[in-house]
Amino acid sequence: MYVSVVVALVGAGLASAQQNNVNSKAVPPDKAVLDRLNLKTEWTLYLPVEGTRDSLAQIQTIDDQVFVQTRAGFLVAVDALTGRIQWAARLGNGSYGNAYPVAANSQFVFCAHVTKLYAFYRYTGAT
């Protein structure tokens, strides 16, 4: 189940990267393509990016959450079962930096961006 969710997010990210029109939305993969790979779409989600330089940098599934990071320093926690955004946080001042994988335990999510380490409550996003 988690594989299809990640494929849908990555597919949507790749589709938007291939289009030159900034105002157009990404399109999920066709059902025929997913059927050929024996996958199905559980949900789709559109995440905004900041301009043409920004993109999805990291997508991780940890237990029942999907964590998505953009190059511009935006971290989004998504419920892996429903696709509902649980919380989102801006890391730093919007500077482009390396997106390191998040780490999580039962209570917290840890994320490094440029030179700072952030700790968020896992299900509320409070720092």
Model confidence over 76-106: pLDDT tens digits?
Answer: 999 999 999 999 999 877 678 778 899 999 9
Residue type, 126: A
> Which residue's entry shows tokens 């390191």?
100
Going by pLDDT thresholds of 50, 70 and 90, the confidence category of residue 110 is very high
Check residue 106 and give its pLDDT: 94
CA 55: distance to chain centroid?
A: 10
Check residue 114 and give its pLDDT: 81
Tell me the per-residue pLDDT of 13-61, one tens digit each, with 9 for 90 and over. Answer: 444 454 455 556 677 888 899 999 999 888 888 887 888 888 888 999 9
- CA end-to-end span of the chain: 30
Check residue 3 and give its pLDDT: 47
**Is the model's pLDDT at 64 over the cut of 80?**
yes
With contact defined as beta carbons under 8 Å apart, do 49 and 70 qualify? yes
> Could you tell me which of 80, 82, 42 has the C-alpha nearest to residue 63?
80
The pTM assigned to this predicted structure is: 0.75
> Could you tell me which of 119, 41, 28 has the C-alpha nearest to residue 75?
119
